């Protein structure tokens, strides 16, 4: 019997440009602080990607980390941060859409995303 979750993950990963996914994975695994700045870093590196692809890349990278490391690994913090960033990003994009300013391209995230001291990703 085939694992349906692997098929679903692969179809999502196929939608995200491979370089974006690889960059998100590396960034999550090597970053120790400055998590909020990761979204602008991805947007600057891939400004012509769809904005939603940034959230998908963060989620897919977090899932890959969970799949690749044991639960007690310090790398699990990176997965947790990836999921949080993706969720906050999607909420921000939704709020922008409701205000009549939909965010379509990753480069557009730079205009709406800025350092938020209240956002505790620690």
Mean pLDDT within 37-46: 92
- The structure tokens 């998590």 sit at 35
Distance in angstroms (rounded) separating the CA atoms of residues 30 and 78: 8
* pLDDT > 70? residue 72: yes
Mean pLDDT within 4-31: 72
Identify the pLDDT of residue 6: 45
The reported pTM is 0.81
Identify the pLDDT of residue 3: 45
Token couple for 110: 């730079």
Distance in angstroms (rounded) separating the CA atoms of residues 24 and 61: 6
Q: Angle between the 51-68 and 38-45 helix axes, to the nearest 10 degrees? A: 120
Name the residue with higher pLDDT: 119 or 51. Answer: 51
Name the residue with higher pLDDT: 4 or 52. Answer: 52
Distance in angstroms (rounded) separating the CA atoms of residues 110 and 9: 28
């Amino acid at each position: 019997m085939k694992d349906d979750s692997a098929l679903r993950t692969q179809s999502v990963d196929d939608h995200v440009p491979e370089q974006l996914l690889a960059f998100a994975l590396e960034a999550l695994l090597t970053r120790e602080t400055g998590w909020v700045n990761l979204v602008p870093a991805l947007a600057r590196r891939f400004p012509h990607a769809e904005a939603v692809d940034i959230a998908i890349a963060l989620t897919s990278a977090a899932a890959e980390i969970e799949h690749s490391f044991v639960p007690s690994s310090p790398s699990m913090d990176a997965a947790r941060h990836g999921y949080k960033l993706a969720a906050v990003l999607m909420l921000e994009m939704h709020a922008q859409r409701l205000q009549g300013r939909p965010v379509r391209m990753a480069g557009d995230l730079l205009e709406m995303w800025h350092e938020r001291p209240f956002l505790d990703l620690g």
